[in-house]
Amino acid sequence: MKPKSNSAVKSADRALDILEYVADATEPPTFSRLLSDLGVPRSSLFHLLNNLLTRGYLEQESAGGRYRLGQRVEHLAARLKGPTLATLVLPHLRSLSDVLNETSGFNIWTGDSVEAIATAMGHQALAFTMKVGERAPLYAVSSGKIVLSRMSNAELEAYLDRTELQPVTARTLQSRSVLRREITSARREGFAYSHEEFTPGITGIATAVVKDGQLLGMVNLAVPTARFTKAQDAVFRRELRSAAAALSQILPGASGQSNPLRVGR
């Protein structure tokens, strides 16, 4: 590898000096403070700060123009803690989709919604694409109904009291009594369904990923309704059960939390 020039090395050192200074400062420093304490020429400091701001390593307060560490530093630090949740679950989703030739996904509970963290697709000409980061109301999707089935009766009633069952499609459930029956069935059988209630033409099926009694998330399939036969339902259940068991072995739990992968409320 060709050695870097002295100027390039100096620029790198100066950028690191800035980051270390901002990280160690008792309060976010101003441009003037950085200029006086670091001894970097004004023009060089200006350009370095702009580069660090553009790349997300620094953020600038709107009032006073002070500098603090940016989210990019946090993202890099998070990688030291190990692989992301999506990285852990994706190989299992790909295996599930390869076996069934259908779209699969892993969802977590966030507020009164579920969020897709990772997805994988089969190779059918007619297939549904689940979008990572997409959220859906608990009452309208199979993964959400699994969350509802894991709630206590008091939690469920509180949810139903505060939630308006707004239609997402023409088939979205509007009856609380019907939703309760589906939740009772999910509690008994361990599987929940969404019959074109979130996406026209798509039937969803989901089951819980549980570890030491904790709900880690939900693994689901999104299948064109035309292919969702009774015979296939049995196959889907078998493979989802197997995938959920495998995921429960490799995903981290969190003692003392009822749902370690849930995000706020």
Domain boundaries for CATH 3.30.450.40 within the chain? 85-250
CA 227 – CA 137 distance, rounded (Å)? 25
Closest CA to 143 of 119, 123, 170, 164: 119
* Cβ-count burial 47-59 (b if 16+ within 10 Å, e if not): ebbeebeeeebbb
Q: What is the pLDDT of residues 140-173, one digit of tens each?
A: 999 999 999 999 999 999 999 999 999 999 999 9
pLDDT of residue 265: 33
Distance CA 248, CA 244 (A): 6
Beta strands in 43-132 (DSSP E): 58-60, 67-69, 103-110, 113-120
Mean pLDDT for the chain overall: 89
- 85-250, which class in CATH? alpha beta
* 78: confidence class by pLDDT, cuts 50, 70, 90: low
Confidence of residue 8 (pLDDT cuts 50, 70, 90): low
Question: Residue 39 pLDDT > 60, yes or no?
Answer: yes
Question: What pLDDT is stored for residue 108 in this prediction?
Answer: 95
Are 135 and 114 within 8 A, CB to CB?
yes
Q: Please answer whether residues 261 and 85 qualify as being in contact, where contact means their C-beta atoms are separated by less than 8 angstroms.
A: yes
Let me know: does 127 contact 105? Beta carbons within 8 Å: no
Work out the angle at residue 109's Cα, subtended by the Cα atoms of residues 104 and 115, and round it to the nearest 5 degrees: 50
pLDDT above 50 for 259? no
Query: If you compute the radius of gyration of the chain from its CA atoms, what whole number of angstroms results?
Result: 25
Range 46-65 average pLDDT: 90
CATH architecture group of domain 6-79: Orthogonal Bundle (1.10)
CATH 1.10.10.10 in the chain: give the residue spans.
Answer: 6-79
